[in-house]
Amino acid sequence: MPVIQARSAGFCYGVRRAVELAEKTAQESGSCVMLGSIIHNANVVARLERLGARQVDSPDAVRPGDTVIIRSHGETRQVLERLEAMGARCVNATCPNVLHIQHIVSRAGQAGRMPLVIGEPHHPEVMGAASWWDGTLVFPGPEELERWLLEDPARRDLPLTAVAQTTCVRSIWESSKKILKKLCTNAELFDTICDATHRRQSEAAEIASRVDVMVVVGDRKSANTKHLTEICRELCPRVYQIEGAEELTPDLFIGCSLAGLTAGASTPAGIIKEVYTTMSEEIKNNEIKEESFEELLD
Ligand code: F3S
């Protein structure tokens, strides 16, 4: 078998649930609005649009009475309040893992603690989580967190509550945790990296460490796909991040006898299958070419 495919590749349950809710809502109501990208995949969005789900990028485009699907990443509290005030009906497809983080942030703030989120500041999930308590701080990684703590010694004694973006790279969260434990006197830590992400990242690392080439499939805007690529690059010398099989060319697999394949949480099974088939064919063709070349030399 020249291609090892990660069992965890593709839709996580949060994304599957959001897509199913959008399909069901569009079919039942005849029309609805998807606020932001419900999934980072143009084909799936196009299919939902054909069913009557219109994608908009801002709440300004929502009209009173619209049925609005809230994506799996969640929304900011301000946006949800605004939608409610204008009389929109919200179908909340926020992943339960993301709701859990929002809840921790809100509860910590109410208890007089300062919430910290370790994650990408401009990612919708992180912006949404931070919005549940004014004054929540977001740090992309351990360096920024350590710098902030060392800038003012008084910060080390603050009551801090730290959470991780659900798709945070595990090593970033572990290093951030170490800093908080070493420097702070009153920090509580919640490991909120979701199980689906954890499984996907560990499996990608395990496969990347034993193959010649690793292929990661997912939308270029998808944060969890980008994280998978970063993890694989630390363990495998040749890693290609692609959006679909059409990006695969024979030269990518020259000299490769074993390849690995994984995919981000928004990548549909059909695309993964196509990539798997193309990779297997390319590797087989290269092997035939190499064998014929050796025969010519004999
Ligand atoms: Fe939810 Fe984790 Fe997927 S947070 S949306 S199950 S990546």
What does the mean pLDDT of the chain come to?
93
State residue 292's pLDDT score.
Answer: 65
Model confidence pTM above 0.90: no
Cβ of 13 closer than 6 Å to ligand 1, yes or no, is yes
Question: How far from chain centre, in Å, is Cα 113?
Answer: 28
Position in ligand 1 atom list of the atom nearest CA 98: 4
Q: Is the CB of 192 under 6 A from ligand 1?
A: no
Atom of ligand 1 nearest to the CA of 12: 3
73 is in an annotated binding site: yes
DSSP state of 151: H
- Look at residue 62 and tell me whether its pLDDT is greater than 90: yes
Best residue for ligand 1 mutational test, from 15, 104, 202 (most atoms within 8 Å of Cβ)? 15
Task: Please check the confidence at residue 115 and state whether its pLDDT lies above 90.
Answer: yes
Q: Is residue 40 annotated as involved in ligand binding?
A: yes
User: Is 266 annotated to bind ligand?
Assistant: yes
- Write the Ramachandran bin of 153: left for phi over 0, alpha for psi from -120 to 50, otherwise beta: alpha
What pLDDT is attached to residue 29? Answer: 86
Exposure letters 32-65 (e unless 16+ CB within 10 A, then b): bbbbbbbbbbeebbebbeeeebebeeebeebeee
* Residue 18: other Cβ atoms inside 10 A: 26
pLDDT at 290: 64
ipTM score above 0.95: yes
Q: In the chain, pLDDT over 90 holds for what percent of residues?
A: 85
Of 19 and 295, the structure prediction assigns the larger pLDDT to: 19
pLDDT confidence bin for 282, thresholds 50/70/90: confident
Is 197 close to ligand 1, i.e. is its CB under 6 Å away?
A: yes
Q: What is the pLDDT of residue 294?
A: 64
User: Which of the four pLDDT bands, split at 50, 70 and 90, describes residue 291?
Assistant: low
Question: Could you tell me the distance, in angstroms and rounded to a whole number, from the CA of residue 213 to the centre of ligand 1?
Answer: 27
What are the residue ranges of helices labelled H in 96-208? 96-110, 124-130, 142-151, 170-183, 195-208
Residue 34 confidence (pLDDT) above 90: yes
Is residue 151 among the annotated active site residues?
no
Choose, from 125, 146, 243, 282, the residue flagged as catalytic: 125
**pLDDT tens-digit readout, 154-210:** 999 999 999 999 999 999 999 999 999 999 999 999 999 999 999 999 999 999 999
